[in-house]
Amino acid sequence: MKFIAVLCSFWLAVSCNAADQWVTLDFTNPDASRIQIVERVSYGVTSKDFVPNSGFRVEKVTSGNVTLWDGKKEEWCASTHYHNRDEVHLLHLETKDGTFDESVCFEKNSDGSWKKIDKMVFQNKLKQISHGSATAYDMHDVKAQERKARERATK
């Protein structure tokens, strides 16, 4: 038990660098000096991954001047994933607070506003817009993609 506590303390110390600069990610106009952006098209779905560069932490995610997510004390967004096809726009945030990871998902309404949706609803909609070929987008693969994007950001 003591070993696990020491290991958790070490991980927290390494992952929570006090020197990191807290930034806002406007995913409609990201600052490439602070955020790594990876764009791809797969199964007709355009996707963009946003991961903070080394030395930065995302404390707020916006769409233009509209705040979608604002972290609480010591909470940050480790990665943001935007997917769209035709008129369907989906957003997935992977947030952390040093102890827990959480997925926060959104869908853009026809009036241009964003609404928070359940992770399963997000997965189903992503599968629909990729015509059922969402094997690359199931949450386990999304987590693998997030890890790869974070690894690229630290290089």
Q: Give Cβ neighbours of residue 71 (< 8 Å, ≥ 6 apart).
A: 58, 59, 60, 77, 95, 97
- Give this prediction's pTM: 0.75
**Residue 5, pLDDT score:** 40
**Residue 74, pLDDT score:** 86
The stretches of 16-138 forming alpha helices (DSSP H) are: 119-129
Of 133, 149, 144, 134, nearest to 52 by C-alpha is 149
**Residue 73, pLDDT score:** 86
DSSP notation for 80-107? EEEEEETTEEEEEEEEE-SS-EEEEEEE
Each residue's pLDDT, cut to its tens digit, for the chain (155 residues) gives 444 443 333 344 445 455 689 999 999 999 999 999 999 999 899 999 999 999 999 999 999 999 999 999 889 999 999 999 999 999 999 999 988 899 999 999 999 999 999 999 999 999 999 886 544 445 445 566 666 666 766 66
**Residue 37, pLDDT score:** 97
**Residue 2, pLDDT score:** 44
The stretches of the chain forming alpha helices (DSSP H) are: 2-15, 119-129, 139-153
Contacts 24+ apart (CB under 8 A), 34-40: 36/149, 36/152, 36/153, 38/149, 38/152
